Amino acid sequence: MNIYKTRKAINKLMCTIALLCAILTLVPLISIFGYVIFKGISSINIDFFMHLPKPVGEVGGGMSNAIIGSLILIGLSCLWAIPLGIAGGIYLAEFGNNKLGTTVRFAADVLNGIPSILIGIFAYTLFVLPMKSFSAVSGAFALGIIMIPTVMRTTEEMLLMVPRTIREAALALGINQFRATVSIVLKTALPGILTGILLAIARIAGETAPLLFTALGNRFWHQNLTQPIAALPLQIFAYAISPFDDWHRQAWAGALVLIVIVFLMSFISRFIIRLRYKFPTPR
Amino acid sequence: MKIRFIDTWFKRATTFLGLSVVALTLLLVYTMSRTAGLAMHKFGWNFLFTSTWDPVKEIFGALPFLYGTIVTSLLALLIAVPVSLGIAVYLAELAPHYIRQPLSFLIELLAAIPSVIYGLWGIFVLAPFLRVSVQPFLTKYFGFLPLFQGQFYGVGMLTAGIILSIMIIPTISSVCREVFLVVPFTQREAAAALGATPWEVIRVAVLGYSRTGILGAVILGLGRALGETMAVTMVIGNRPEISASLFAPAYTMASVIANEFAEATSNLYLSALVEVGLVLFFVTLIINVIARLLIWKVSSKVKGQIRE
């Protein structure tokens, strides 16, 4: 009789431990969100959005240049990474069912898997060294490389999910494969692809490491795109490790803005999917 | 004729753009190898096995960074693996159905938080907490171990390891959960039919069946931990020393690049930092490939099962 009791007790114990693991993980989540929201809200004000950083030692000022800088960097990255990613995805879905396609997939996985700071080194050697200046374009190059694998693999997955009958129906009408792919298949898969793009943007919005020695950061408005530019994550980093209380306050405010941007992107992407189409979300 | 022409060029153009991703990857390896060449030539294999890092005298040995990276990553795995397994078991097997979706959503939220915010939280919340409560406790009860001796700085390898573990829990737990979900129901039913308790079903049927997949998930998490930069840089204390105590400040490969790259003045200094990056590149590459192969093995096994 005794062995049954032991087995039941062990069962109870292990099930409780599993539950505790789940609860334990929620503790840092709640703590991080709690601190970012409360510290962020108590330190955010209109100045934060409207003003440049004040000189060292002066209280006040804001991160307007960093917020705009981040938006510019994200826009520039999208400009080259999205077309390349989608084209690569079309290639993988339409013509990539061979060794060459496997090579491309492998390369995308490599780019996706390596630490983002290495992509910063890559952009540094490719842009900063020849141009002899930290610049917005080098930062956008680095962020774009981080976007490409996500956009590409999502595009591929979404295109392959479009029923073959739709593709065949289009081809049966006598249009060429280019039109069939772009106007019919791509259009059908567009919400899914858009989700992938938004997720990629959400990821690069928070990236700091690849910008450290490409975009570098800037305490003023950037002059042009070949000069250093400020970015929100960089500013948060610089303020967090600084010794000034007022800068710590602004770091929390910046963190709140950043987390709102990142989660807005994720939520919108989930929403697009739920709203109109029944495509599964990409992982 | 015209259709042929357009389609040929459509195929060529997309192929070209697809291949440009391969070209970018090769270019990355090439430029990094070329820049690291100087340091490789000067220090050879000693680079990996000496521990002097002196930019002024231009003597570079990367051992402290390798040590810091390995210790923090292993510590992260030590914490994250059991917790992730618990979460995955709970989500896949035990939780009531109405809890599964929201709970897994919450845990995935952890993966979406930018690492600089983890770092900020680490500096101002986690590090002071560890300094005041956890480190004195560990010294008091486990102080006979060299791991838990020395000054309480707050920042150090212990803090970095804990932050890393929080960051990789979503990765490991979501892969594990997927691996559990592909375990055939007949396995569970067979175990249950023999009179196994729910835990015994999990242990015998689920965990046993998905050993390979779990290993893949763990290695994938390891890959994440090795390369994580910002959060670690902000809490590890940044000191190129090898110390047995987990409380001591240290340095990782990624964080030395993050801190020193922009101010590397000489060519040799820059080259040495890129070589650290190159080592990190190959380590994470190999680890990711192994993880993929293991996970892929699990999913192909399942496909075979379905075909039967």
Same domain, A130 and A10: no
Q: Which residues make beta-bridge pairs with A229?
A: A216
Confidence band for B302, pLDDT divided at 50, 70 and 90 = low
Same domain, A54 and A166: yes
Same domain, A138 and A248: yes
* Residue A275: per-residue pLDDT: 65
Same domain, A160 and A246: yes
This complex has an ipTM of: 0.91
Whether residue A154 is contained in a domain is answered as yes
Instruction: Report the C-alpha gap between B294 and B298 in whole angstroms.
Output: 7
Same domain, A8 and A57: no
Instruction: Tell me the CATH number at A187.
Output: 1.10.3720.10
pLDDT at B69 over 70: yes
Instruction: Report the C-alpha gap between A177 and A199 in whole angstroms.
Output: 29
Same domain, A172 and A231: yes
Instruction: Report the C-alpha gap between A120 and A126 in whole angstroms.
Output: 10
* Residue B35: per-residue pLDDT: 93
Measure CB to CB from residue B18 to each of A91, A125, A209 and give the nearest one: A91
Same domain, A11 and A55: no
Same domain, A99 and A38: no
Contact A136, A72 (CB under 8 A): yes
pLDDT per position as a tens digit, B212-232: 999 999 999 999 999 999 999
Closest CA to A177 of B52, B110, B186, B10: B10
Same domain, A182 and A240: yes
Whether residue A121 is contained in a domain is answered as yes
Does any CB of chain B come closer than 8 Å to the CB of residue A248?
yes
Interface-testing mutation among A4, A5, A12, A118, with chain B (most B C-beta atoms within 10 A): A118
Whether residue A80 is contained in a domain is answered as yes
Does any CB of chain B come closer than 8 Å to the CB of residue A252?
yes
Classify burial at B110, counting beta carbons within 10 Å of its beta carbon; exposed 0-12, middle 13-18, buried 19 or more: buried
pLDDT per position as a tens digit, A20-29: 999 999 999 9
Q: Which residues contact B14 (CB under 8 A, 6 or more apart)?
A: A87, A88, A90, A91, A94, A95
Contact B153, B237 (CB under 8 A): yes
Whether residue A283 is contained in a domain is answered as no
Same domain, A84 and A6: no
Structure tokens that stand for B62 in this block: 């990367």
Same domain, A184 and A156: yes
Measure CB to CB from residue A209 to each of B13, B125, B258 and give the nearest one: B258
Whether residue A282 is contained in a domain is answered as no
Q: Enumerate the residues of chain B whose CB falls inside 8 A of the CB of residue A104.
A: 18-19, 21-22
* Residue B308: per-residue pLDDT: 31
The C-alpha of A207 sits at a distance from chain B's nearest C-alpha, in angstroms, of 7
- Across the interface, whether the CB atoms of B14 and A178 are under 8 A apart is answered no
pLDDT at A219 over 90: no
Confidence band for A89, pLDDT divided at 50, 70 and 90 = very high
Domains of chain A: total: 2
pLDDT per position as a tens digit, B9-26: 999 999 999 999 999 999
Confidence band for B115, pLDDT divided at 50, 70 and 90 = very high
State the residue range of the domain holding A108. Answer: 48-276
- Percent with pLDDT over 90 in chain B: 69
* Residue A277: per-residue pLDDT: 54
Superfamily of domain B63-307: MetI-like (1.10.3720.10)
